[in-house]
Amino acid sequence: MTTLDTLITRLPPGRVISDPAVTASYAGDQTHLTPGVPLAVVAPRDTAEVVAAVRWAAEHRVPVVPRGGGTGLAGGAVATDGCLVLSLARMNRIRELSPADGLAVVEPGVINADLDRAAREHGLMYAPDPSSYESCTIGGNLATNAGGLRCVKYGVTREAALGLEVVLADGRIVRTGGRTVKGVTGYDLTGLFVGSEGTLGVITEATLRLRPAPAAPATVLATFPGPRQAAAAAAAIVADGLRPSLLELLDRATLQAIDDWKGIDLDPGTGAMLIAQSDDGPATAMADRCEQSGADLVAVSSDPAEAAALLDLRRLAHPAAERLGACLVEDVCVPRSRLAEMFHRIETAARTHNATILTVAHAGDGNLHPFFVFDRGEPEPPPHVWAAADEVFTAALELGGTLTGEHGVGLLKRRWLDQELDEVSLDLHHRIKQALDPKGLLNPTKAL
For residues 4 and 113, which CB has a smaller minimum distance to ligand FAD in the complex? 113
Binding residues (CB under 6 A) for ligand FAD: these are 29-30, 65-73, 76-77, 88, 108, 130-132, 136-137, 139-141, 143-144, 146-148, 197-198, 202-203, 318, 406-407, 443, 446
Task: Provide, rounded to whole angstroms, the least separation between the CB of residue 399 and ligand FAD.
Answer: 21
Task: Provide, rounded to whole angstroms, the least separation between the CB of residue 79 and ligand FAD.
Answer: 10
For residues 27 and 287, which CB has a smaller minimum distance to ligand FAD in the complex? 27
For residues 203 and 238, which CB has a smaller minimum distance to ligand FAD in the complex? 203
Between CA 111 and CA 102 the distance in angstroms is 19
Q: b vs e for 329-348, b when ≥16 Cβ sit within 10 Å of the residue's Cβ?
A: bbbbbbebebbbbbbebbbe
Task: Provide, rounded to whole angstroms, the least separation between the CB of residue 300 and ligand FAD.
Answer: 25
Task: Provide, rounded to whole angstroms, the least separation between the CB of residue 160 and ligand FAD.
Answer: 12
For residues 391 and 406, which CB has a smaller minimum distance to ligand FAD in the complex? 406
Task: Provide, rounded to whole angstroms, the least separation between the CB of residue 50 and ligand FAD.
Answer: 9
For residues 30 and 245, which CB has a smaller minimum distance to ligand FAD in the complex? 30
For residues 152 and 202, which CB has a smaller minimum distance to ligand FAD in the complex? 202
Task: Provide, rounded to whole angstroms, the least separation between the CB of residue 394 and ligand FAD.
Answer: 23
Task: Provide, rounded to whole angstroms, the least separation between the CB of residue 107 and ligand FAD.
Answer: 9
Please identify the residue of the shown chain whose CB is closest to the bound ligand FAD: 140
Residue from 92, 99, 102, 109 nearest 179 by CA: 102
For residues 29 and 391, which CB has a smaller minimum distance to ligand FAD in the complex? 29
Task: Provide, rounded to whole angstroms, the least separation between the CB of residue 428 and ligand FAD.
Answer: 20
For residues 43 and 136, which CB has a smaller minimum distance to ligand FAD in the complex? 136
Residue from 29, 99, 28 nearest 71 by CA: 29
